[in-house]
Amino acid sequence: MDRTLVTGKIIAAKVRKGLHWRDIAVSIGQSKEWTTAACLGQMTFTKAQAAVAQELFELTDEECAWLQIVPYKGSLATPVPTDPLIYRWYEIVSVYGTTIKELIHEEFGDGIMSAIDFSMDIQREADPKGDRVNVVLSGKFLPYKTY
């Protein structure tokens, strides 16, 4: 038994019971973005959050304990993702990666945008030419230290 198996069981329970991430998030008490990442095995649950998940997804006590252990992260099976939706994000990194780097450095100097002190918000924007997906990424700027 490891976290991967718990993730598989959560997804199967979600399919079987017809749940939605937005409702699961309300039960867990976090944003839908964090909650989905956590249920997919990328984040660590507190004891209280794990108890909610245990009931929602009908997990055993041992599976519930696994949710509270820091997981080995990384949700993709291949270095270049094959799924078209996820690939489009990889393409954004591939095509715009050096652009993002240049503009952040121009504004902030040498450093990075944190992927740890980080949040994400995904929203639908109605548009007569076809609705749009709007995603806001917010990460703390961390300057390189000199010493």
Name residues contacting a second copy, limited to 81-100 (CB under 8 A): 81-100
Site for a second copy in 13-72 (CB under 8 A): 15-16, 18, 20-22, 30-34, 36-37, 40, 42-44, 62, 65-66, 69-70, 72
Alpha carbon distance 122, 31 (integer Å):
10
As measured in angstroms, the least distance from the Cβ of 112 to a second copy is 5
Active site residues: 88, 91, 114
Q: How many residues bind a second copy (CB under 8 A)?
A: 98
As measured in angstroms, the least distance from the Cβ of 6 to a second copy is 10
Tell me how far CA of residue 22 lies from CA of 28, 29, 53, 110, in angstroms: 10, 10, 14, 37
Specify the residue, 55 or 73, whose C-beta has the smaller distance to a second copy.
73
Please give the radius of gyration of the chain, using alpha carbons only, rounded to the nearest integer. 18
3-state secondary structure (DSSP) of residue 34: helix
As measured in angstroms, the least distance from the Cβ of 121 to a second copy is 9
- Is there binding between residue 4 and a second copy (CB under 8 A)? no
Alpha carbon distance 14, 128 (integer Å):
33
Alpha carbon distance 46, 52 (integer Å):
10
Look up tokens 């080995």; give the residue: 72
Instruction: Report the residue from 52, 57, 118, 128 that binds a second copy according to the rule CB under 8 A.
Output: 118
